[in-house]
Amino acid sequence: MIKIAGVGRKKARRSAHAYEAKNMQGEIMFCGVACSATNSAYGAAQEALVEATIKARNAGFHRVLFLSNSRRLV
C-alpha cells in the first residue's frame, strides 16, 4: 500500500509531495518527500505517483494499492 499526498502554493509557485509504502504487516518499506516547481497539488501528486511506482517496481512489489488525497489522481 502506498499513500500519496501533494500540496501546492499558488503565490510561491511551488509544490511538494510525499509518499510512504507499507507492506501487509504494516512495516514501512520506503518513503520519500520532495519539492518541485509545479504550481498545483495535482502536479505534485502526479510526480509522487511516478516516483513511488518506480521505487515499488525496483523493490519487487507485484501488487500495489495507491491511496491519495486527490480525487483526480487515482
* Tens-place pLDDT, residues 8-62: 777 767 888 889 999 889 999 999 988 888 778 888 888 888 999 999 999 898 8
Closest CA to 68 of 49, 54, 53, 51: 49
Give the start-to-end residue ranges of the domains of the chain.
2-68
| pTM for this predicted structure | 0.78
CA 38 to CA 40: how far, in whole Å?
6
Q: What angle do CA 64, 66, 67 make, to 5 degrees?
A: 150
